Amino acid sequence: MKNILSVHWALIASLWYFGNGVLHSATVLIQHKGNYDRELLRLLMDGHILMLSGAVVFMCWLMLLSKIQCGGVISIIVAGFMILYCLMIFPFLKSYVTMAISIILIIASIKAIYSFPNIYNIMQNYK
């Protein structure tokens, strides 16, 4: 169970989010006919949300590797909002894998936060 819920789920999630964002934006640009309009902007923003989420979770993965608790907190926030995003687009696109990865990322991040040293206790030595 220790290896299944490792901090490397942050890397998996970041690659999944970012990759889906690139694929989404590329597909939108290929399929869009006509000028730059609100519909194109809206669709491109979906891809950018995914790419930004992937980039942020990648930075969280680097922080988790260094045992920085904030990486876990930020990845929980991003994964939570990714679940909300998936629920909003669920009538149009059933994103089961993205929701599953996000749920696993939340669980793995909570596990990591509790296994890392508490920064408050460490800083008490420097008062």
Per the domain annotation, does 60 fall within a domain? yes
**The pLDDT value given to residue 1:** 47
Q: How many secondary structure helices (H) and strands (E) does the chain include? A: 5, 0
The average pLDDT across 91-111 equals: 94
**The pLDDT value given to residue 2:** 58
Q: Is the pTM of this model over 0.85?
A: yes
The average pLDDT across 57-63 equals: 96
Distance CA 109, CA 71 (A): 8
**The pLDDT value given to residue 122:** 73
Per the structure, the count of domains in the chain is 1
Distance between terminal CA atoms of the chain?
Answer: 38
Reported residue count of the chain is: 127
Domain hosting 68: range is: 8-126
Start-end of H helices in 32-68: 38-65
pLDDT for 121 beyond 80: no
Per the domain annotation, does 29 fall within a domain? yes
3-state secondary structure of 94: coil
pLDDT tens by residue, 32-47: 888 888 888 988 999 9
Amino acid at 52: L
Work out the percent of the chain whose per-residue pLDDT is above 70: 98
**The pLDDT value given to residue 124:** 79
Distance CA 101, CA 96 (A): 9
Per the domain annotation, does 2 fall within a domain? no
